[in-house]
Amino acid sequence: MANNVYLPEPMRIVRRYDLIDDVRFFQVRPLEMERALQLNYLPGQFMMVSLAGVGEAPFSISSTPSRPGLLEFGIRKVGIITEELFKLKENEVIGVRGPFGNGFPIDKFEKKDLIIVVGGLGAVPLRSLLLYTLDNRDRFGRIFFLYGARRPAEMLFRREFMELKSREDLHSMLTVDKDDTGRWTEQVGLVTALFKNLKDIDPQNTYATVCGPPVMYKFVIDEIIKLGIPKHQILMTLERRMHCGVGKCGHCVIGSIYTCMDGPVFSYWDVMHMKDLI
């Protein structure tokens, strides 16, 4: 059976280091170079990571397809599989299959302005989108990147995002709820407070993407709605229990939606329309 959708593909862990306290960065690649170069995916898609004897779980891809050959994940230690994943060292082999899910509708973003709003761990999938748009900078309009973390020590990819601050073609705003270091040079306050800095938004020509903890959605979406952006141009990514990634096992079902196939990226219109989605 050549195309077994459930068959994990062996991949080697190339690099791993802690992003923050309980979130670890994993860079993996297929064992064969040829296969590595064939890897194709969209920002917002996810992979099923498989540890033989332990099980499988879905993880958002954090790398961008515009930098081929490698896959990157930011994984929080929260369950049995991640606990085991954290025990693995560089050069060990894990099983990976995918990509799954719909991903962000990149084509629709062409020539449009883009507001990327991140809370906490939401940086994992949205980093993929951010890096993708920066790598293809001329295809998109203005890009606003708003990232709120609780404390400086809880900001994922902090150094990387700080470096991006110097780019003139990106409006990057980083904020923390509270600075407990005394050395934080960026904003302090909630991510919603950053919206006042967004100038001259043309709502019909702007897409907003949001990812963060459930509590954040409501407040952030209120702000986006205030900007007049249509509901179908507001996109968010959601989480559910998954065993297959391909709409079979049923665990991620919500109404007629399989989060793994029809999501994990949904428009705010979907969310309003589909009960139980958030």
Number of chain positions touching another protein (CB under 8 A): 43
Say whether residue 213 binds another protein (CB under 8 A): no
CB of 39: closest distance to another protein in angstroms? 18
**SS3 state at 246:** coil
Instruction: Kindly tell me which of 87 and 196 has the beta carbon lying closer to another protein.
Output: 87
- Under the binding rule (CB under 8 A), the answer on residue 79 touching another protein is yes
Contact call for residue 189 and another protein (CB under 8 A): no
Instruction: Between 35 and 165, name the residue whose CB sits nearer to another protein.
Output: 35
CB of residue 242 vs another protein: minimum separation in angstroms? 9
94 near another protein, rule: CB under 8 A: yes
Site stretch for another protein (CB under 8 A), options 48-56, 105-113, 159-167, 178-186 = 48-56
Instruction: Give CA–CA dist 172/195, Å, rounded.
Output: 12
Reply yes or no: is the peptide bond before residue 203 cis, omega within 30 of 0: no
Scanning residues 246 to 275, which ones bind another protein (CB under 8 A)? 246-251, 253-257, 261, 275
What beta strand segments (E) does the chain contain? 9-20, 23-30, 46-51, 55-60, 71-76, 93-100, 113-119, 143-149, 171-176, 187-188, 206-211, 234-237, 253-254, 257-258, 265-267
Phi-psi group of 245: left, alpha or beta (phi > 0 → left; psi -120 to 50 → alpha; rest → beta): left
Q: Which is nearer to another protein, 193 or 253 (CB)?
A: 253
Contact in structure between 11 and 96 (CB atoms under 8 Å): yes
Beta strands at 46-51 and 55-60: parallel, antiparallel or unpaired? antiparallel
Other Cβ atoms within 10 Å of 192 Cβ, number: 18
193 binds another protein (CB under 8 A): no
Residues in contact with another protein by CB under 8 A are 1, 3-8, 10, 50, 52-57, 78-82, 84, 93-95, 239-241, 243-244, 246-251, 253-257, 261, 275-276
